[in-house]
């Protein structure tokens, strides 16, 4: 009996080495390690994007910890490996496996990319998550990137941004005419329709340009990030709640061929780490912006207020024109229709839930 058992074990081991009977190949695959590179559109050390809770560096650290070191991601700030806005091409070519930025930087490659970052007058953070995770948004994102051999997922969110800093008060639509303003993306096209001279500058160049009067106005992110750049020292008027970026999504862009080579458990770790950073980064923004806004008003004597209603109405009208132009592209129309079908239902739900709470209950 003793020798029989020994021969059974021997047979089992032999079968295992020859095939999948004992799961050996799976064990070997699970122990394979991967060394990836992730670039960013933001400079090394930039809070929220590169450093701090839910940032690119935090995302890489979480993936390293959860995978027991099997997926190591080296993170590079803008300009360290490639220039700020070349992440799309680098991931597409497979030069790097991942890029951490915002999809609206790629609207020149595919206009539909705008919808996965922020649409002017669009969804808030909760609504955006509803559309992305449960309303088909992420599937559409991947459909848009399929021709480029890439996949994507949300990995951060600033929440609602601020309209921005203006050296002069804006009392009417006419006050926008001839104004030189730093404003990227689709919102730039909207302002341009109202006579704004639109400039696109990287974060680090905004303060000197505003201070020297090269530009008259600028938007960046929100109170914490804007104060860090010193924008309150160059312009006095801080126009509040951002019509142009109601919940700006950070994008984790991944080369599809590299993604396909990851075992399922490592893919799940990346997806879960990205979802964690999506929530954690937004939470950090709420705290950091609450503190910074109080300081800007109390100590820095900033004049903070919303844009006048007629200006907002004009911006809304021009946004509709810019979006109507974009949906001449069939894939953009597919994404647009999904986004706005979700939004119209969500808006009705918001009216009786979050909005009703803030207006009638919170006090």
Within 117-146, the residues that bind Ca ion by CB under 5 A are: none
Q: Which is nearer to Ca ion, 66 or 292 (CB)?
A: 292
Q: Are 281 and 48 in contact (CB under 8 A)?
A: yes
Instruction: State the nearest-atom distance from the C-beta of 220 to Ca ion, in Å.
Output: 6
Instruction: State the nearest-atom distance from the C-beta of 161 to Ca ion, in Å.
Output: 5
How does strand 71-76 pair with strand 34-40? parallel
Instruction: State the nearest-atom distance from the C-beta of 245 to Ca ion, in Å.
Output: 5
E strand or H helix that includes residue 66: helix 56-66
Q: Are 95 and 87 in contact (CB under 8 A)?
A: no
Within 160-179, the residues that bind Ca ion by CB under 5 A are: 161
Q: Which is nearer to Ca ion, 60 or 183 (CB)?
A: 183
Instruction: State the nearest-atom distance from the C-beta of 222 to Ca ion, in Å.
Output: 8
Q: How far apart are CA 195 and CA 192, in angstroms?
A: 5
Q: 3-state SS of the chain: helix, strand, coil percent to 5?
A: 55, 15, 30
Instruction: State the nearest-atom distance from the C-beta of 187 to Ca ion, in Å.
Output: 8
Total site size for Ca ion, rule CB under 5 A: 1
Binding window for Ca ion (CB under 5 A); candidates: 158-166, 208-216, 255-263, 315-323? 158-166
Bridge partner list, 252: 100, 153
Write down the residue that tokens 């312009």 correspond to.
235
Q: Which is nearer to Ca ion, 225 or 255 (CB)?
A: 225
Instruction: State the nearest-atom distance from the C-beta of 152 to Ca ion, in Å.
Output: 19
Instruction: State the nearest-atom distance from the C-beta of 264 to Ca ion, in Å.
Output: 36
Q: How far is the first Cα of the chain from the last one, in angstroms, to the nearest whole number? A: 81
Reported residue count of the chain is: 363
Q: Which is nearer to Ca ion, 87 or 120 (CB)?
A: 120
Q: How far apart are CA 33 and CA 328, in angstroms?
A: 45
Bridge partner list, 352: none
- Classify each residue of 189-227 as buried b or exposed e, where b means 16 or more C-beta atoms within 10 Å of its C-beta: bbbebbebebbebbbebbbebbeeeebbbbbbbbbbbbb
Q: Which is nearer to Ca ion, 273 or 307 (CB)?
A: 307
Q: How far apart are CA 329 and CA 111, in angstroms?
A: 8
Binding window for Ca ion (CB under 5 A); candidates: 157-165, 226-234, 281-289, 330-338? 157-165
Q: Which is nearer to Ca ion, 97 or 318 (CB)?
A: 318
Instruction: State the nearest-atom distance from the C-beta of 319 to Ca ion, in Å.
Output: 15
Instruction: State the nearest-atom distance from the C-beta of 333 to Ca ion, in Å.
Output: 25
Long-range contacts of 323-326 (CB under 8 A, 24+ apart): 323/119, 323/186, 326/111, 326/114, 326/186
Binding window for Ca ion (CB under 5 A); candidates: 154-162, 269-277, 288-296, 316-324? 154-162
Closest by CA to 38, choosing from 113, 107, 93, 95, is 95
Binding window for Ca ion (CB under 5 A); candidates: 159-167, 188-196, 208-216, 355-363? 159-167
Q: How far apart are CA 219 and CA 205, in angstroms?
A: 12
Which token pair is 294? 């109080």
Instruction: State the nearest-atom distance from the C-beta of 65 to Ca ion, in Å.
Output: 31
Within 189-208, the residues that bind Ca ion by CB under 5 A are: none
Q: Which is nearer to Ca ion, 117 or 332 (CB)?
A: 117
Q: Which is nearer to Ca ion, 124 or 142 (CB)?
A: 124
Q: Which is nearer to Ca ion, 192 or 327 (CB)?
A: 192
Q: Which is nearer to Ca ion, 161 or 350 (CB)?
A: 161
Residues 6+ apart with CB under 8 A from 78: 39, 40, 41, 42, 43, 44, 84, 202
E strand or H helix that includes residue 39: strand 34-40
How many CA atoms, within 13 angstroms, populate the side-chain half-sphere of residue 65? Answer: 8
Which spans of this chain sit near Ca ion (rule: CB under 5 A)? 161
């Amino acid at each position: 009996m003793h020798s029989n058992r020994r021969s059974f074990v021997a047979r089992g081991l032999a079968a295992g080495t020859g095939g999948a009977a004992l799961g050996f190949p799976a064990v070997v695959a699970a122990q394979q390690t991967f060394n990836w590179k992730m670039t960013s559109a933001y400079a090394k050390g930039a809070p929220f994007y590169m450093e701090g809770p839910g940032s690119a560096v935090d995302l890489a650290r979480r993936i390293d910890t959860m995978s027991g070191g099997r997926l190591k991601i080296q993170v590079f700030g803008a300009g360290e490996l490639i220039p700020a806005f070349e992440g799309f091409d680098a991931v597409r070519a497979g030069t790097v496996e991942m890029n951490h930025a915002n999809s609206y930087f790629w609207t020149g490659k595919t206009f539909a990319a705008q919808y996965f970052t922020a649409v002017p007058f669009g969804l808030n953070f909760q609504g955006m998550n509803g559309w992305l995770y449960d309303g088909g948004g992420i599937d559409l994102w991947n459909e848009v990137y399929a021709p480029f051999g890439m996949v994507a997922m949300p990995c951060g969110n600033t929440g609602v941004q601020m309209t921005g800093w203006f050296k002069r008060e804006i009392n009417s639509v006419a006050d926008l005419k001839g104004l030189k303003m730093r404003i990227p993306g689709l919102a730039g096209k909207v302002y341009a329709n109202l006579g704004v001279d639109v400039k696109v500058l990287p974060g680090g160049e905004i303060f000197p340009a505003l201070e020297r009067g090269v530009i008259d106005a600028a938007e960046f992110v929100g109170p914490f990030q804007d104060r860090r750049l010193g924008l309150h020292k160059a312009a006095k008027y801080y126009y509040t709640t951002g019509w142009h970026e109601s919940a700006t999504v950070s994008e984790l862009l991944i080369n599809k061929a590299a993604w396909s080579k990851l075992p399922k458990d490592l893919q799940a770790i990346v997806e879960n780490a990205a979802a964690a950073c999506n929530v954690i980064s937004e939470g950090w923004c709420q705290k950091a912006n609450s503190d910074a806004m109080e300081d800007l008003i109390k100590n820095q004597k900033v004049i903070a207020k919303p844009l006048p209603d007629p200006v907002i109405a004009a911006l809304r009208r021009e946004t509709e024109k810019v979006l109507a132009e974009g949906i001449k592209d069939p894939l953009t129309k597919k994404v647009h229709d999904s986004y706005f079908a979700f939004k119209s239902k969500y808006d009705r739900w918001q009216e009786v839930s979050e909005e009703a709470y803030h207006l009638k209950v919170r006090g």
